[in-house]
A and B are shown apart, each in its own frame.
Chain A
């Protein structure tokens, strides 16, 4: 096994592109090392991206935020500007594991690990976040939800690395929220989860809405219909009921050790309602 720590994204992409055997990108390692220890993967090349210049930075641009792929979730959580603009994304990132895990783990790693239960991903999808992908044939920017294609699988090609996650600048009266269901209080994996992102008009009615569900299907679900049902409302009881119904209906969950189909459907609706209520309040709605 070869471990390298390139200093530029070009070098990293080049090494990955010419790798013959199985290769892996190492960010925080909180998924990768666990899988290696368990004997599930035995990479011949490990490319540590933490020393690549710029990858550990959070930068505020004219369009919003650029969160480097090597930014640990703990650092993200301490960034006041991101926290203020995207509290839902940050709370999702800060649910991952524990203090110790957060010192290492990244939202990009969370996304690329492609677990249907990844915590930050529904919040990122609700936030309409984008991923900047660097590869042998240059750079492209894609919607976050197009990265995972199935459990443990992504749309990234050989040699491609996600460089950063982009979050938009926030208009006034905007709020987002993320909730997950776990049987314990921490150190657990979402049985089902929901991220909601709203903007309101001046009268407090919902102007735009995005709703995403986690652990409800093989990949994160962007439930467009759920967003539509919220638009125009002030989150009255009838709307919330319809929201829950749509979310429950949109789920394509499985029965497994973490929960039943029935349970996931039902709780997806409950969490969407509760997350919507929090996002609405954060946006200044009453």
Chain B
């Protein structure tokens, strides 16, 4: 509806302030309703039986004993979720991941489920289900899986993207390549070349709230789902398709969310809960245990990456090359592809080539995790960049500044950049007091840069003005990081009213048009665009109503600072009408006043960050402590700076955990050894220093306020920044993430022994 999204360079009165968030009171008083807080009369308890094997044919499942147990109302297997995916391979994988059809593909893969009147009976019923497995050889390591001797996970998969179609199936599902120029020529021009291989272990998003939902299916084909998700519209589409429901008859309501980070963009238990409810004829509540969350949901890829970078004596990079292998779990994905796109995105390169290989392993299906795939690629590349700077005898910041991408640079993954923030974040880091602070014994400083694309997507909001002049804003992007506050600020800004007059909610799928989920750092970027558009539409109505009230042409009415103003001297005696004045009369001037917006938010501005970090290492034990951490990142425009800082700090905190201790540990039997927070070590409060932040604002030309997504980029540099800091502290290049104390000590011992 001829909405102009271009950046307008206006002055702000609400945007950029730091009011209290609308969901704050509920959250600090415990009143907020998370996934597991919803209950229905007569609801049953759903529980899932999971494979104890990493790879096994399911020969037979006998559920008869479980069905006979008093209190059991439904038992389901894959048979109760017939394949309705109609050749849609990606949907079929989601279906198979929700409930294994022929083979269990990882430890924790769902094979059956029950709904019973209480948790104890449900647990007993699971024990009565007899599954006859034929255990197959398994493979969990990304490099081993890519080897041609490895056990095949899916014999129907032949590597895509090769010049010749392969004759034999493979666990490598796809090869992708990006870049430009001629790397051979480039390396020939180099005076110094660094070439190294790196590994990163698999991590989980580690959201504190486990997956939880209540499903209620009616015999008339309608259904309700209350669920903790990052995207209730997407969950609706997926569940409707998998269960053969009409999308508009499945109403999905999203709860408050205790963390998602990409892990709640994906259905797991929800189709199972719906199938159980359909069979039992009663609502079913399904809450995953932490063990299930680790074994069956989430994780990101484990990776193995080779990097080669060459530079001239003057510090100009002449060529850069990377080969990236990413694990996908047992289903094809595009994780290495994204890694290959992001790897060198920070730099201006004449000759660059990246190749990605997607690798199947007997681990849970890889899900997005905050800037998915970029942190590992950045770890490898930024480690090599640091090492090359050392070899050149150049300061690590100056070396990066010299080679940083700029406006007009052709990115290694194809497009030509508009105005971007990599140079400014590097300059800011260079001038930051952190860079000059003295270091003590056994301490090292590291830095690294990171890039993320950001995403826009389909978005829709409703803005309704009450007769008292208060404004309700209904959005369809789940609030994962304070976006209701930010969007209220944007509505207040555009309408010219006070923040306290606006109340934002996340509407359910039957109350609003389709919205893509909150991923790709799109929540505030896209919904603020839709909110601005909705507010502008509401202003049109408000002007029209004012014109009616004054009985003058609408073209003579403008909107300024929350008021309709009659333009021109002839209306000199008409005092402005406030939004409140106009709303009060709406019943007699044409009815309720509202503004709607449906759009595709194009032009999400790419985002860059530079991180600096100081680490102390105990050389006798390999123990590490993060002494100081600084995040510098471009936000485009920080709508609510506190929540932007929160995103910067959160990404850094997760990155610190990933870099130092978090990892999936599999036994030789292919079973996950540490499916709990005791042995899957996310950092606790006392592990972290206060994470310092600096917001830069390089406006995104494609957003009226210049907003860029900020949620993901902050997790891209930490692995590399910390690896560089540890390497500088101990004088040994660390190439394997996480740098757990045993790994650091082993690296130090290897160095001592020469």
Query: Which residue numbers of A lie inside 8 Å of B, CB to CB?
Result: 38-39, 181, 183-189, 191, 256-260, 262-263, 266-267, 270
22 cross-chain CB contacts under 8 A: A181-B621, A183-B660, A183-B740, A183-B741, A184-B661, A184-B681, A184-B684, A185-B687, A188-B678, A189-B678, A189-B679, A257-B673, A257-B674, A258-B679, A262-B742, A262-B745, A262-B746, A263-B742, A263-B745, A266-B749, A267-B741, A270-B621
**Interface presence of B29 (CB below 8 A):** no
Q: A66 → chain B, closest Cβ, in Å?
A: 32
The smallest beta-carbon distance between B674 and chain A, in angstroms, is 5
Q: Once the chains bind, are B746 and A183 in contact (CB under 8 Å)?
A: no
Query: A185–B123 contact, CB under 8 A?
Result: no
B746 CB, nearest partner CB in chain A, Å: 7
Q: Which residue of A lies closest to B674 (CB)?
A: A257
- A257 to chain B: which residues have CB within 8 Å? 665, 673-674, 679
Whether B623 contacts A181 by the Cβ 8 Å rule is yes
Closest 9 CB pairs of A and B: A263-B742, A185-B686, A257-B673, A257-B665, A270-B620, A257-B674, A260-B742, A183-B661, A267-B621
Residues of A within 8 A of B746 (CB): 260, 262-263
Residues of B within 8 A of A39 (CB): 123
Partner of A186, one of B673, B678, B686, B742: B686
Q: CB-CB < 8 A to A189: which residues of B?
A: 678-679
In this complex, what residue of B is CB-closest to A39?
A: B123
Interface residues of B in 621-673 (CB under 8 A from A): 621-623, 660-661, 665, 673
Known: A184-B683, A257-B673, A257-B679. 4 other contacts (CB 8 A): A184-B681, A184-B687, A188-B678, A263-B622
* Complex: A181 Cα to B624 Cα, angstroms: 12
- Cα A136 to Cα B487 in complex, Å, equals 70
CB distance from A185 to the nearest CB of B (A): 4
Give B667's nearest chain A residue, CB to CB.
A257
Residues of A within 8 A of B622 (CB): 263
Complex CA–CA separation, A181 to B678 (angstroms) = 14
Residues in B whose Cβ lies below 8 Å from that of A188: 678, 681
Q: Nearest chain-A residue to B666 (Cβ)? A: A257
Min Cβ gap B423→A in Å is 37
- List chain B residues, Cβ under 8 A from A258: 679
- A257 CA to B742 CA in the complex, in Å? 11
Minimal beta-carbon separation of A142 from chain B (angstroms):
30
At the interface, is chain A mostly helix, strand, loop or mixed?
A: loop
Shortest CB-to-CB span from A95 to chain B, Å, is 13
Q: Are B741 and A181 in contact (CB under 8 A)?
A: yes
| Closest CB in chain B relative to A215 CB, distance in Å | 13
**Contact status A256-B687, CB under 8 Å:** no
Residues 165 to 209 of chain B near chain A (Cβ within 8 Å):
none
Which residues of the partner chain A approach B686 to less than 8 Å between Cβ atoms?
Answer: 184-186
CA gap between A236 and B571 in the complex, in Å: 96
Given A257-B665, A257-B673, A263-B745: A187 touches B684 (CB 8 Å cut-off): yes
**CA A256 to CA B681, docked complex, whole Å:** 14
* A residues in contact with B745, CB < 8 Å: 262-263, 266-267
Q: What is the bound-complex CA distance between A223 and B678, given in angstroms?
A: 28
- B681 pairs with A183, CB closer than 8 A: yes
Residues from chain A with a CB closer than 8 A to the CB of B291 are: 38
**A110 smallest CB distance to B (angstroms):** 16
CA–CA, A256 to B686, complex, Å? 25
A151 to chain B, nearest CB (A): 15
Which chain A residues lie closer than 8 Å to B679 at the CB level? 189, 257-258
* A262 CB to nearest B CB, Å: 7
User: Which residues on A sit within 8 Å (CB–CB) of B683?
Assistant: 184
Roughly how many angstroms separate A178 CA and B749 CA in the complex, as a whole number?
26
Which residues of chain B have C-beta atoms less than 8 A from A186's C-beta?
Answer: 684, 686
A187–B745 Cα distance when bound, in Å, is: 22
For B676-718 the 0/1 string (1 means CB < 8 A from A) is 0011010110110000000000000000000000000000000
CA distance A184 to B688 in the complex (A): 10
Complex CA gap A259/B660 in Å reads 14
Residue of A183, A185, A189 most packed against chain B (CB within 10 A): A183
What is the bound-complex CA distance between A188 and B683, given in angstroms? 11
Bound together, the chains give a CA A83 to CA B746 distance in angstroms of 37
Q: How far is the CA of A257 from the CA of B740 in the complex (A)?
A: 11
Residues of the A chain whose Cβ atoms lie less than 8 Å from the Cβ of B740 = 183
Cross-chain contact B741 with A263 (CB below 8 angstroms): yes
Taking CB as reference atom, which chain A residue is nearest B745?
A263
* Bound form: Cα–Cα A189–B678 in Å: 8
Distance, CA A238 to CA B623, complexed state (A) = 25
Contact with A along B600-625 (1 / 0, CB 8 A): 00000000000000000000111100
Chain B residues near A262 (CB-CB < 8 A): 742, 745-746, 749
Interface residues of B in 708-754 (CB under 8 A from A): 740-742, 745-746, 749
A259 to B746, CA, bound (A): 11
B458-495 toward A: CB 8 Å interface, digit per residue (1/0)? 00000000000000000000000000000000000000
For B749, the chain A residues whose CB sits under 8 A away are 262, 266
A183 touches B665 (CB 8 A): no
Contacts of A187 in B (CB 8 A): 678, 684
Q: Which residue of A lies closest to B657 (CB)?
A: A184
Chain A nearest CB from B124 CB (Å) reads 10
Give a binary string over B87-99; 1 marks a CB under 8 Å from any A CB, 0 the rest: 0000000000000
Chain A residues whose C-beta falls within 8 Å of the C-beta of B621 in the assembled complex: 181, 267, 270
In whole Å, how far is B107's beta carbon from the nearest beta carbon of chain A? 14
| Complex Cα spacing A57 to B673, Å | 40
The 8 A CB mask of B552-592 against A (1 = contact, 0 = none) is 00000000000000000000000000000000000000000
For B741, give the chain A residue with the smallest CB separation: A183
Shortest distance from the beta carbon of B678 to any chain A beta carbon, whole Å = 6
* Chain A residues near B741 (CB-CB < 8 A): 181, 183, 191, 259, 263, 267
Looking at the assembled complex, report how far the CB atom of A253 sits from the nearest CB atom of chain B, in whole angstroms.
12
Write out the residue numbers on chain B whose beta carbons fall within 8 Å of the beta carbon of A259: 741-742
What residues of B have a CB within 8 angstroms of the CB of A267 in the complex?
Answer: 620-621, 741, 745
- Chain A residues closer than 8 Å to B623, beta-carbon distance: 181, 183
Residues of A within 8 A of B684 (CB): 184-187
Residues of A close to B660: CB separation below 8 A: 183
In the complex, chain B residues whose CB is within 8 Å of the CB of A256? 673
Docked pose: A76 CA to B665 CA in angstroms: 37
Q: Could you give, for residues 267-296 of chain B, a 1 whenever the CB lies within 8 Å of some chain A CB and a 0 otherwise?
A: 000000000000000000000000100000
Using Cβ atoms and an 8 Å threshold, which residues of chain A touch B674?
Answer: 257
In the complex, A39 Cα to B687 Cα: how many Å?
A: 31
A263–B622 alpha-carbon span in the complex (Å): 9
- Complex Cα distance, B291 from A38, in Å, reads 9
The answer for the CA separation of A267 and B123 in the assembled complex, in Å, is: 42
**B678 cross-chain contacts in A, Cβ below 8 A:** 187-189
Residues of A within 8 A of B687 (CB): 184-185
| A255, B394: Cα distance in complex, Å | 41
In the complex, what residues of B have CB within 8 A of residue A263's CB?
Answer: 622, 741-742, 745-746
Closest residue on chain B to residue A244 by CB atoms? B620
**C-alpha gap A76/B499 in the complex (Å):** 52
What separation, in Å, do the CA atoms of A185 and B123 have in the docked complex?
A: 36
| Chain A nearest CB, measured from B736 CB (Å) | 13
Which partner residue on chain B sits nearest A260 by CB separation? B742
A188 to B677, CA, bound (A): 9
Q: Name the CB-closest residue of A to B618.
A: A270
A267 to B620, CA, bound (A): 7
Q: Which residue of B lies closest to A185 (CB)?
A: B686
A39 CA / B127 CA spacing, docked (Å): 12
Who on chain B is nearest to A273 by CB?
A: B620
Instruction: Report how far A39 CA is from B124 CA in the complex, Å.
Output: 11
- Distance from B734 Cβ to chain A, minimum over Cβ atoms (Å): 15
- In the assembly, what is the distance between CA of A27 and CA of B749, in Å? 44
CB-contacts of B386-445 with A (<8 A): none
A267 to B741, CA, bound (A): 10
**In the complex the two chains form, what is the Cα distance from A185 to B742 in whole Å?**
16
Q: How far is the CA of A96 from the CA of B619 in the complex (A)?
A: 26
Across the interface, name the chain A residue whose C-beta is closest to B664.
A257
A260 CB contacts on chain B under 8 angstroms: 742, 746
Report the bound CA distance from A260 to B744 in whole Å: 12
Q: How far is the CA of A10 from the CA of B30 in the complex (A)?
A: 44
